[in-house]
Structure 1
Amino acid sequence: MWQSFDYPTDTLLPEQKFTRSTTLVSSRARGNVSSGYFRLYFDNDNILRLLYDGPYISSVYWPYPFLLPWDSGRSTYNDSRIAWLDSLGNFTSSDGWKFLASDYGKIIWRRLRMDRDGNLRCYSLLRGGEWSVSWQAVIGPCDIHGICGPNAICQYDAASGRSCSCVPGYERKNASDWSEGCKPTFKSFCDDSPDIADATGFLHFPNRDFYGYEGGYYKNSTLSSCKRKCLELCDCKGVQYRFNERECFIKVALMQGRFLIGTRENIYFRLPRSMVSLYQTRLEVEPAALNCSDSPKDVRLQRVYLKGRDNKLLVKILLIVAGVIAGLEALGVLLVWYFVAATSQTRKDEDGTDGYQLASVGFRRFTYSELKKATQNFSQEIGRGAAGTVYKAILTSGQVAAVKRLNDSSLQGEDEFLAEISMIGKLNHMNLIEMWGYCADDKHRLLVFEYMERGSLAENLSNRSLDWGKRFNVAIGAAKGLAYLHEECLEWVLHCDVKPQNILLDSNYWPKVADFGLSKLLSRHGNVKDSGFSKIRGTRGYMAPEWVYDLSITSKVDVYSYGVVLLEMVTGRSPSGGVAADDSCSGGMAENQRLVSWVRAKMKNDGDVPIATLIEEIVDHSVEGEFDVKKVEILVVAALQCVSDDKDKRPSMSQVVEMLECHVNKAEN
């Protein structure tokens, strides 16, 4: 007689079909469940999209509107228009788009919701009764359209979150609703004026981007001619100019404004000339006004004072001293200004650009000439891999860095490269190598990382510099880093090449996983069993069976590789070099076995042989110092579980961490 399963509001449940006649609509606000401005729907071209349908404008913001459908992994050649989320956390759509929840494979309660902030998120129910985000569509909070309304700028800070502010010369329309944006505080330029050009000025702000609404686009244009084009239109709100490409965009509306560090975007807001002078000394857009009304804690200071004795001589002396000090300060300011201007001009002459701003979190964009100078023309090579070569560098700040120069085969479009670099730059964990920045000049693609004094785990294993205590700490630290990538990031990040060469050690032998997420930086042309990878990734000896047998790729491929690394640390034997089997096991004929098979055979026990004896047979006796049998045993047990041929029998990396730390806690107690 009645049912609602075919008509979801803002939530899609597992196995609930999403069709051409279905729409997910966000709620209006916290505590207000009326229909909001954001919706998920199938467009007329059969593509699943996120739409902002606001009071003034309507625009698609996901997939990125500047990408063609096939550039974002979609296909218009379908007519079924159907999508669903299964009980394991796999979302599949008829347009070819798929995603896996970060906890994919677990049978737990999940839901896909169109949130009121415009982001589409997948939630998983934790044991404590809380919903945890296991996937989200839009990485950048300010990439969502309509968040701050017209004539406003969205800015995101990891500490304080997302915030909105009006552009210069504008004020909020509605103090309680940012979606209505801001209104001008000055008279429109379209009103009659004797000379609009003389009454108009431009205020420059770098690193601001406003999407769409161009009244004109001009290539090979100078900034001066770009401004003149704007003055010819009474409804021009400003110009967006790219110096490197000499591109001019005439903005007749300031929509979807956002603040981006290290971009090519420069916005010149058009304002009355009298208003420009008020803003010229301000470096940032002023935030929303605070409520500074009186409160019981406020104390008003008395504004009366007592007049002292008149002493003209003393006043003259104080004035002379103050004048001398002011003159010295002015001279110092001029010298500093001259030095900064000279340095800036030198950088412009070398690079042809205005340089890049350092991000508040230390993540920045470098120019190619900067990194070429820092690496002494890429002269000191410290590592080499399939994706590129690593060089030691000394940055202008004096910091020692490692610069990875990606091979030509890994190059891709700048927009896709910057989007994925932004995602990797946000990853932060004590057991992950820290990325300080990147370079994307023309065809040059370089990554800048912190420098690790002790080199790779592979180097330290070969020179026998790691005792058993350090090896156990390396095992725990690397496991924690991988667990963070797999389970604590909103993006599903696989390493795909876990091996000793990609585990680096600092001066205290503290491990940090490197090259994580770099598979996302390589070209992707097709899928491997819905994994999003177009080719086999990894290193021989460390690769999981899924790569060889063309099975679905999940986080368990990293678990397998990690298990092989553990076996290599325990035995001191390379997984790719082969291991000589006992003659008794081969009829007197020695043969090469894989490291995994060899350890399995050695550890096979019917209960007659003490575990210490079995450990004694496989352990690396070249390592200095006595080893703890219990610690080595837990490493071997964890490793053999990780290298199970059946991926469903392998533990997650968080379970491996728990297993290793549980042994440490027992030993301490």
Structure 2
Amino acid sequence: MCAPFLFIVVSLLLSSPFSSSTLLRITKGLSLSVEKPNNVLISANRVFSSGFYPVGKNAYCFAIWYSQSLDDGSYTVVWMANRDQPVNGRRSKLSVLKTGNIILTDADRLIVWATETTTTSLVQLELYDTGNLVLHTLEGKILWQSFNSPTDTLLPLQPLTKNTMLVSSRSQSNYSSGFYKLYIDGDNVLRLQFDGLEISSFYWPNPWLQPWELGRSTYNNSRIAVLDPSGHFKSSDNLKFSAADLGTGPKRRLTVDVDGNIRLYSLNEKLRAWVVTWQAKSNPCTIHGICGPNSVCTYHRKGGRRCNCILGFKMKNQRDWSYGCEPYFNLLCNEEAVFIKLPHVDFYGQDLAYFPNQTFERCKEKCSQNCNCKGFQFKYDRTNGYYLCYTKALLLDGYRSEGFEETMYIKLPKSNLSSYDKPSQEFRLDCSQQVTTPLYRNYKQQQENSTVKFMLWFACGCGGVEIIGFLLVSYVLYRNRQGSHATENGYLQVGTGFTKFTYAELKQATSNFSIEIGRGGSGVVYKGTLSDNRVAAIKRLTEANQGEEEFLAEVSTIGRLNHMNLIETWGYCVEGKHRLLVYEYMEHGSLAENITSNMLDWKKRFEIALGTAKGLAYLHEECLEWVLHCDVKPQNILLDSNYQPKVADFGLSKLFNRGSIGNSSFSRIRGTRGYMAPDWVFNLPITSKVDVYSYGVVMLEMITGRSPTGTVHAMDDNGGMEQRRLVTWVRKKMHETTGNGSWIEEIIGTAMDGEYDKNKMELLVRVALQCAEEDKNTRPTMSKVVEMLLDHENDEFEKSFIPCIIDACDSLKFEYLVEE
């Protein structure tokens, strides 16, 4: 009786995606084997892969990496499950157990890593387009995700929270945990820490300054930091920075490198190489532990970092600079000592004592009489007009700079005085040999009775086949019920503070909806103050007949959108027929309120054009689902306190899966007269090009100060007056005066008072006219618009890249060796 059903199960297995070399997901009872290197999980967009990654001889870690190899053939790893405990290259596997737990077993005997999750529901392990490896139920509940346990890299949309940290790798080829950590400290400040072999210390932000002196804030309780896809990083302590190539498009990663520096990288697709677009420390010698104890770091922009042992010291480990230097001598407590002068050198911290208003001889005497004193710094205090004396217990974080006026004196035994005339020894790492670290495993053989084992398998055979068949059929029926991206909504709600409000809460926040600040086709917007004192814009939707399931599905998509040029959605309310959305409040209102204001100079207008384009490009091409705005107009472009634009009123217009956008359909025409593309009128398929058209019209209105819903009076060929639409009028002005350079002056709005960059304004008008073409096929994509607006800055852009200098023994190959 088992045979026919067994044939059906085998057929299902052969026809399922698990039979291919790359998988989209795995479910309960299935495994990935280290002995099948091509059998990996891959994201739907094929950007990320996950599987067993080789880290040495017969040594593997379960990892996530970028699928595209670099120019040198290597791959960029962004996450590892077992970075400090590689597994055997034979019989090791990652398994999704029927209990809902994921385990990584070494040689099928030793569990080295597990998610420690349990559930009775059907689950699947899936690699999302964001690079997040997620274990979730078919109902969408997330049980575990790699984003919550990062290694050394933060990907766009991955939150760094109070419960997570980034830890550097030990070296370029050794992925095990290194000495540098990035995390949000107990005082709510994002910090870099050196956690070395003997001592630990903070070195970023500058430890001698208070957080508020650097613009940081300790008064926050959210403790979260996020890098968005456009290259903008923001932390809850007010730390903000951006990539030099800010904008949608490039693949990015934020990594704590092996040298202790944080760097933001963008992938150059043509060169197949990562380029540094931001870094925390411009001078690597200010990174603690970089050269080890008893050494001095010197940095030259062209030559990079150099490490030298202090006179009387020698390198401790020829292959690893972090061990620093050790003395040739053994200085006894009562032994006569001499002091060697090191000008322009400082050793940070580790002061035994501080003595103000001292002479050199008294300072020298204090160090001589203290057996624990390794040297002293003698420094002139210009403020008080006397010398300061700092005696040192340890010689750590040595740094030489011609800009230092300080002088350091090192304590050495007088008996070795003749050897101190030699120049200090420069670190020269020995990279000639490969470093192999054996990892010995004591695998215990399990004693099993073969007869009992056979009978057990036979007894469970038919029943097991039926259970497996039921699970497989259930998977085939349910795997498409929930989109892979809907499950990520729970994480993004945590990352963005997305909250479900009650109707009573929002009614109270708006004083019974009494302060109206905006009105549109989809609803009325009110100003309100939430219970945590945040000022919010609360939109009351008029489409009250929308079903709760449909509304929540669309709201979940809005919650997953995260871009600096999109209005931030804080929450929602769905009760009965009430549908409300809660947004951040914009101080300067909408673009419509500011078009004729002289507060918007040409620079601000150009930035508004660029920022709006970036926000729309993200909606169309970068977010988890394609979102068509369908109502781009000045009223839906809001301006923050710095007049930076944020596109609003998106998400409830039309959502598309990436594969189905060509088959778009709308039940009714959407948009606002004057800004609507002709595609609506001629009943053409609606694509993202309708937003492109509207964007072009808005930009022309912003430049000219003229509304597209009105008429422009122009002189016709016979000297009479005729009425023209805004787009037609601008295009005719440009063609009539081509060559004499005066057309931009004729159309520019009076709000700019004649002060503007003619080249930039002309570029913006040409781009806007191309967007507002009648034929949708001739309109550019929004990402192309961003590219065109940034084109004039290409030269400056190339110069803005920060050189990446990691002074390391790059040819040194570190490998683990796991015994078979």
TM-score by structure 1 length? 0.50
RCO higher in 1 or 2 (8 Å CA, sep ≥ 6)?
2
